């Protein structure tokens, strides 16, 4: 109960800080709307090669998830051993990167990659100013499928309980995801819809240069930090063993579905069925699947 109460207090404080940041920031920083113009997305440049903050945010995300999983492994009882954790992270990273990229290619820009198939997985690309190392365009839903496949295959190979594996990893994954969205913000991509809100920002990649929701920060806050605090608080409740994968799908799907109303849909796709975006349709599938996993009977003790 004490840990649950602390988690509830953390969630309340987190929401208060987010609200204060959005309402107070524009009042004390006159250049608030132009913050995206003041951020250089390139962390390091050497000749024609450049290293982007976006890629570094992925590295930070993996390190945070790895550190917290090892923290849990050292303080809680699990069937998996530390050496297997190290092995799994290789599988997990491959699943996230391959699934995320393949998901973007198939879900969001298939027509382009049918014409330029070599760009789907070649990590060296040009943008008019030189060459950079990295892949432009990753799909969260594709990455989720990729890492879920890694969980399943790894568990089968080492004869581990896949639901126990998910319980170990899932509560910490949203924290890593938050830094991915911060990377999107630094890159100036995946910005929100046009708004008159006082905390609106103007993004360099927006050809219309209109004030928009900084939806990347909304997603980092609620799909990332908020969901992390929630799942981390619930992680030691015995009745939830074997259900964290479902809880994550359900929680993320609900939060992302709402936040999609603030995010500009992909220009090559636009709005689909009943005015929903592709992201919202995929989230509805997540919500249904998550509810099924979360409310099934407990399958291990």
Say yes or no to pLDDT of 107 above 90. no
Which whole-number Å values give the CA distances from 296 to 42, 241, 242, 267, 283, in the listed order?
46, 11, 9, 39, 20
11: pLDDT confidence band, cut at 50, 70 and 90?
low
Tens digits of residue pLDDT in 202-211: 999 999 999 9
Indicate left, alpha or beta for 69 from its phi (over 0: left) and psi (-120 to 50: alpha): alpha
Is the Cβ–Cβ distance between 116 and 150 less than 8 Å?
Answer: no
Say yes or no to pLDDT of 4 above 80. no
Tens digits of residue pLDDT in 230-263: 999 999 888 899 999 999 999 999 999 999 999 9
User: The tokens of 261 are what?
Assistant: 């109303």
Say yes or no to pLDDT of 128 above 70. no
Say yes or no to pLDDT of 301 above 60. no
Q: What is the pLDDT of residue 217?
A: 93
Give Cβ neighbours of residue 168 (< 8 Å, ≥ 6 apart).
69, 72, 73, 78, 80
Is the Cβ–Cβ distance between 165 and 154 less than 8 Å?
Answer: yes
End-to-end CA, the chain? 21
1: pLDDT confidence band, cut at 50, 70 and 90?
low
CA dihedral angle for residue 219, residue 222, residue 223, residue 226, rounded to 10 degrees: 150
User: The tokens of 88 are what?
Assistant: 């799994």
Is the Cβ–Cβ distance between 165 and 85 less than 8 Å?
Answer: no
Is the Cβ–Cβ distance between 226 and 144 less than 8 Å?
Answer: no
Give Cβ neighbours of residue 55 (< 8 Å, ≥ 6 apart).
133, 134, 183
Look up the pTM and report it.
0.86
Average pLDDT over the chain reads: 86
């Amino acid at each position: 109960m004490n840990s649950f109460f602390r988690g509830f207090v953390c969630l309340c404080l987190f929401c208060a800080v987010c609200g204060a940041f959005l309402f107070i920031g524009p009042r004390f920083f006159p250049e608030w709307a132009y913050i995206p113009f003041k951020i250089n997305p390139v962390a390091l440049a050497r000749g024609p090669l450049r290293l982007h903050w976006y890629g570094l945010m992925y590295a930070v995300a993996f390190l945070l998830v790895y550190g917290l999983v090892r923290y849990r492994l050292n303080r809680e009882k699990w069937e998996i051993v530390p050496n297997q954790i190290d092995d799994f992270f290789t599988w997990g990273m491959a699943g996230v990167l391959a699934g995320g990229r393949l998901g973007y290619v198939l879900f969001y820009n298939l027509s382009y990659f049918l014409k330029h198939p070599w760009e789907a997985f070649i990590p060296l690309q040009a943008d008019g100013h030189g060459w950079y190392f990295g892949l432009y365009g990753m799909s969260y839903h594709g990455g989720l499928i990729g890492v879920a496949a890694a969980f399943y295959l790894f568990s089968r190979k080492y004869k581990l309980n896949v639901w126990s594996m998910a319980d170990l990893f899932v509560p910490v994954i949203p924290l890593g995801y938050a830094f991915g969205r911060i990377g999107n913000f630094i890159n100036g991509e995946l910005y929100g819809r046009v708004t008159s809100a006082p905390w609106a920002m103007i993004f360099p990649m927006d050809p219309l240069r209109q004030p928009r929701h900084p939806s990347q920060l909304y997603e980092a806050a609620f799909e990332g930090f908020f969901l992390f605090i929630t799942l981390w608080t619930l992680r030691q409740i015995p009745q939830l063993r074997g259900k964290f994968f479902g809880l994550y799908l359900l929680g993320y799907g609900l939060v992302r579905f709402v936040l999609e109303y603030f995010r500009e849909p992909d220009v090559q796709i636009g709005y689909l069925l009943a005015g929903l975006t592709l992201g919202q349709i995929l989230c509805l599938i997540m919500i249904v699947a998550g509810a099924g996993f979360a409310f099934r009977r407990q399958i291990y003790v």
